[in-house]
Amino acid sequence: MSHIPWRGFFRRTAQAAVLALCAAGLTAVTPLTTSAAAAGTLQQVTNFGSNPGNLAMYEYAPSNLPANAPLVVALHGCTQSASDYHTNSGWQKFADQWGFAVVYPQTSTANNSLSCFSWFDSTKDTRGKGEAASIRQMVDTAVAQYGSDRGRVFVTGLSAGGGMTADLLADYPDVFAGGAVDSGIPAQCATTLIAASGCQNSNQNLTPKQWGDKVRNSYPGYTGTWPRVAIWQGTSDTTVAPVNGTELRDQWTDVWGIGQTASSTQSLPGGTTESLYDDGTGKPAVALFSVSGMTHGLAVDPGSGADQCGGTGAYFLDYICSSYYTAKFWGLDGGAGTGSLPAPSGLTVTGTTDTGASLSWSPVSGAASYAVYRDGTKTGSTTSTAYTDTGLSAGTAYRYTVAAVDSSGAVGASSAPVTATTTGSAPQCYTDNNYNQVQAGRAHQSGGYTYANGSNQAMGLYNVAITHTLKETSPGYFVLADSGC
């Protein structure tokens, strides 16, 4: 941000330090039409809860999104909008390719003069409060609408959005399976505006345990699995000092109870060094991506290659497609690993029955076997180029990808997805308000909120003003099917 002439003045105040965290110089964006989300378009959703943080909710989903798909929450930087981030970050490409929905929270000048998320305000960025609570409501709304897999909800953000991402991971480890902090700040580094300047610009001289305690104290008593965290930091960032990447690494490795020595490192495109920190099972729990020479922004790499994405602009910097490597770190590519084998081509649905789907694909030279993934989860393995998946529900759409596996067990790139719809009658669906759904025995209420019987999916307030569609997938087991039965 050295091209901004008043930057030196801003550095002299704590408030200006926060503003310097924000992106600048972006073109104003015409507001999107307010409506329910339509497949393949970015749309605003207006009724997603009490919204204590005064945020706007936008969402994107590809056509034919299957039930139980992942959900990604993506937070823009200061002066940016949901539309900016959707257009330039690259998440749309991978949502289309790998099959998941994306929610884009959007703040405004009513909350902050430069539309920054309030990562430094304990009345807005803590569990159950303000902007953090609004984003949690957006997650619940999207999960209900799309039938998303609650075990595969992820959050990512740039700059101030990255700082809020770290806070959300600490506030809601029971909601988010993973996160990515891009040019951001450790969780709960600052709880006031005055403290924000030091967090942004200098080493806080805290031990890993002290950093980890900030996460543990955000949701006292939590005993579940912690989110897997990717950290992206430019080595020439003068807005968010590069030490923040190290502090984030210290924080989340301590939370996981693992050391700060990398389990492995490798060089990636764009002068990027990836350092992985494995958990006790050998699976990476924390990843630090250090981008040599990059200043403040989100790393993108425009192009049509499999590992390319995004568009350049103010604080969208041409180095490497960070969204691609983040998505792979989370496993959104259908489980494909880091092997060198190319993606199988020609994946085709050759037949379906009420309870099964048959697939075939072209062989890959050097493949010892193939891994088959249904809706992002590995469902089987075969040494041939054909596979039949069984035990499926009638009249239901499933999304498949295939990856080649070499003789050492390394999994290559995933194929393009295909959708197979089983034959037979689809499960019966019921559309009604929450009150009537409970009265009919398809849902139940607790604490004034409604939950689907069987799946226990959240449906919102227990009243006649909220309507949902429930699908009975087996006797007495109902799932939300607002996007289609």
| 122 has catalytic annotation | no
300 half-sphere exposure, CB direction, 13 A CA radius = 24
DSSP 335: S
Smallest CA-to-CA distance from 51 within 460, 451, 448, 465 is with 460
Nearest-5° Cα angle at 483, 478 to 484:
70
**Strand order from edge to edge, sheet including 348-352:** 348-352, 357-360, 386-389
List the catalytic residue out of 134, 159, 218, 275.
159
Smallest CA-to-CA distance from 98 within 323, 276, 320 is with 323
Q: d(Cα 463, Cα 437) in Å, to the nearest integer?
A: 10
Q: What is the DSSP string of 13-33?
A: SHHHHHHHTS---PPP-PPPP
449 half-sphere exposure, CB direction, 13 A CA radius = 12
78 half-sphere exposure, CB direction, 13 A CA radius = 23
Q: d(Cα 308, Cα 305) in Å, to the nearest integer?
A: 5
| Residues in Cβ contact with 283 at an 8 Å cutoff, skipping those fewer than 6 apart | none
Q: Which residues share a beta bridge with 433?
A: 467
Q: Are strands 348-352 and 377-382 parallel, antiparallel or unpaired?
A: unpaired
User: Which amino acid is present at 240?
Assistant: V
Nearest-5° Cα angle at 317, 69 to 298:
40
DSSP 261: S
Q: d(Cα 357, Cα 422) in Å, to the nearest integer?
A: 7
User: Which amino acid is present at 388?
Assistant: T
Question: Helix axis angle, 243-256 relative to 208-216, nearest 10°?
Answer: 70
Q: d(Cα 436, Cα 433) in Å, to the nearest integer?
A: 6
Contact assessment for residue 430 and residue 417, using Cβ atoms and an 8 Å cutoff: no
Q: d(Cα 324, Cα 298) in Å, to the nearest integer?
A: 12
Q: Which residues share a beta bridge with 57?
A: 45, 105
Smallest CA-to-CA distance from 289 within 162, 129, 410, 140 is with 162
Give just the sign of the alpha carbon dihedral 232, 234, 238, 241. Answer: positive
**Active site positions, annotated:** 159
